[in-house]
Chain A
């Protein structure tokens, strides 16, 4: 098996919230997340606000440190590297951010924004850098007239094109896109998504693509990991997860996608209540407070991720043989997925 480009190993992130020292509150934004990305793969991460998607991105990019766990990029732990080595590695991993307005220094023109990556890594000469910038601008569908404009004078879509240009300038292998289209108008979204798909083909990029929109993920990604309150609850190839969601949460999300044909709508698995707060994490399975098919066990114990097929995993007790009787008809039997580090895709084992 090829060496994975990115390996997220058992990453947790705890944010302290202050308070009195003997009763300090904290939020566990990520809980033992393990994900593996092969070169050329495009993995989508979906989940509602507070599920830890953005925290995961920041940790992968080396912008935040994990409380425990490792992020291996090209085999090296980016959080154990010397700062100078990490800066060199960063050539290989670039990012596109959600807020198109905040991701540019208001005092810089498009020209200086795009020259910066080349200057930082001392690529080429003064003239060849500008040449490269112009080429990349054309690549993302903008022209030279943009060079002297300020990002704040551009439309959201144009700004996101400049952000994409900045991300691909250094010819990275991994691009982390944190909600790259959710701040854009719907008509613009489609064009940016097409652009992201095209450049992925042309430059053979690997994407870690975060969105709260399943439709967007389906369009851009090969596989998807569904997160709920800092944990991965289901992970698998996009077609399988969409056709046959195996976690009650995923099922509710997939059913929430509007369909043009009402007759094709599956039976709903409704979500109950509101998303729990990170400070008062539910006991047992974190999803049990909102689950329509919960059992008594769910509030006491947390389920492991169960392998349903070679690449498809989900974290629900209904997958165990113990609960073969009374299992909802859409849920398949599975086995506990062991975190051997060899399996492709996700393996986050909850040990309790």
Chain B
């Protein structure tokens, strides 16, 4: 890999604009989540009934909610939930999909047929519907939301992993590996896995953005993060009821969600251009 990066042009702003904007937005969200207790002025749980539905002011920069909690603090802490869910869900989807896709692509035949039809079955349900069904089966908790969202990602990663595996299998270095007597397990680990990871990592960024949206959707429906745990989704859900009196209750978590999702999407597109300039439009 070090040998390849030498041939690449430097990470110039003009060439990798998407990568830079996405990277900065993602860094912002990640830093906020990481240092939430230190950067927020109040605890996200402390309520103050004398201070309900306050408009943004010097004491509460982004106002307070219906039971007097600081909206800025809650929004920043909510980034933690979103990132956790994204991380776990993408990990579940990536590893599940990688396993299924590589096995299907490498061995082919009936196994491939069976695995891929199962993936298409999963794919045929709208994501949010599938998530709701899975939550109904698994029970409502944030951990189950992570797993449910991860399962939704498995078919996408599996297809990508399968196609990449088949592409790699056609290269003569696989024939060369067989010819020197390498066994299947070692071929998979040495020759195939390192060469199918790149497209999957790019897809992981896009999936991450989608995981954030799905987590918010589930929390909005009351199936994800449970109150008083702050999540952009459940904040939007409560804020919706106060749109007339306190619009900041919905606008602030909505804007945070927008920035986070935009950041991960741009980073994903940027990474794709970086790894494979030929794929650029």
A interface list, Cβ under 8 A from B: 58, 61-63, 83, 87-88, 90-91, 93-95, 97-99, 102-107, 109, 116-117, 120-121, 149-150, 152-153, 163, 166, 170
Q: How far is the CB of B175 from chain A (nearest CB, A)?
A: 5
**Chain A residues within an 8 Å CB radius of B178:** 61-63, 90
Q: Tell whether, in the assembled complex, residue B191 and residue A105 are in contact, meaning their CB atoms are under 8 Å apart.
A: yes
Q: Tell whether, in the assembled complex, residue B182 and residue A95 are in contact, meaning their CB atoms are under 8 Å apart.
A: no
23 contacts across the A-B interface (CB closer than 8 A)? A61-B179, A87-B181, A90-B181, A95-B176, A95-B179, A99-B172, A103-B173, A104-B176, A105-B173, A105-B195, A106-B195, A107-B194, A107-B195, A109-B3, A120-B181, A120-B182, A121-B181, A149-B3, A150-B3, A150-B4, A152-B3, A152-B4, A153-B3
Across chains A and B, the number of contacting residue pairs, with CB separation under 8 Å, is: 75
Q: Which of chain B's residues has its CB closest to A150's CB?
A: B3
Q: How far is the CB of B92 from chain A (nearest CB, A)?
A: 26
Q: Tell whether, in the assembled complex, residue A97 and residue B181 are in contact, meaning their CB atoms are under 8 Å apart.
A: no
Q: How far is the CB of A336 from chain B (nearest CB, A)?
A: 37
Q: Tell whether, in the assembled complex, residue B173 and residue A102 are in contact, meaning their CB atoms are under 8 Å apart.
A: yes
Q: Which of chain A's residues has its CB closest to B2's CB?
A: A150
- Which chain B residues (166-189) contact chain A, with CB distance < 8 Å? 171-173, 175-183, 186
**Chain B residues within an 8 Å CB radius of A117:** 180-181
**Chain B residues within an 8 Å CB radius of A87:** 181-183
**Chain A residues within an 8 Å CB radius of B182:** 87, 116, 120
Task: Tally B residues with Cβ within 8 Å of A.
Answer: 21
**The 3 residue pairs across chains A and B that have the minimum distance between CB atoms:** A150-B3, A90-B181, A117-B180
Cβ 8 A contact of B180, one of A97, A98, A150, A166: A166
**Chain B residues within an 8 Å CB radius of A97:** 172, 175-176
Q: How far is the CB of B216 from chain A (nearest CB, A)?
A: 37
**Chain B residues within an 8 Å CB radius of A102:** 171-173
Q: How far is the CB of B199 from chain A (nearest CB, A)?
A: 14
In the bound assembly, the distance between CA atoms of A109 and B18 in angstroms comes to 31
Q: Which of chain B's residues has its CB closest to A176's CB?
A: B179
- Which chain B residues (192-248) contact chain A, with CB distance < 8 Å? 194-195
**Chain A residues within an 8 Å CB radius of B172:** 97-99, 102-103
Known: A61-B179, A107-B195. 8 other contacts (CB 8 A): A61-B178, A95-B179, A104-B176, A105-B173, A105-B177, A106-B195, A107-B1, A150-B3
In the bound assembly, the distance between CA atoms of A234 and B218 in angstroms comes to 72
In the bound assembly, the distance between CA atoms of A304 and B210 in angstroms comes to 66
**Chain A residues within an 8 Å CB radius of B176:** 95, 97, 103-104, 163, 166
In the bound assembly, the distance between CA atoms of A95 and B173 in angstroms comes to 11
Q: Tell whether, in the assembled complex, residue B181 and residue A106 are in contact, meaning their CB atoms are under 8 Å apart.
A: no
Q: How far is the CB of B201 from chain A (nearest CB, A)?
A: 14
Q: How far is the CB of A160 from chain B (nearest CB, A)?
A: 12
In the bound assembly, the distance between CA atoms of A102 and B186 in angstroms comes to 19
Q: Tell whether, in the assembled complex, residue B195 and residue A116 are in contact, meaning their CB atoms are under 8 Å apart.
A: no
**Chain B residues within an 8 Å CB radius of A62:** 178
Q: Tell whether, in the assembled complex, residue A170 and residue B180 are in contact, meaning their CB atoms are under 8 Å apart.
A: yes
Q: Which of chain A's residues has its CB closest to B183's CB?
A: A87
B190 within 8 A of A: yes
Q: How far is the CB of B168 from chain A (nearest CB, A)?
A: 9
Cβ 8 A contact of B190, one of A91, A99, A105, A166: A105
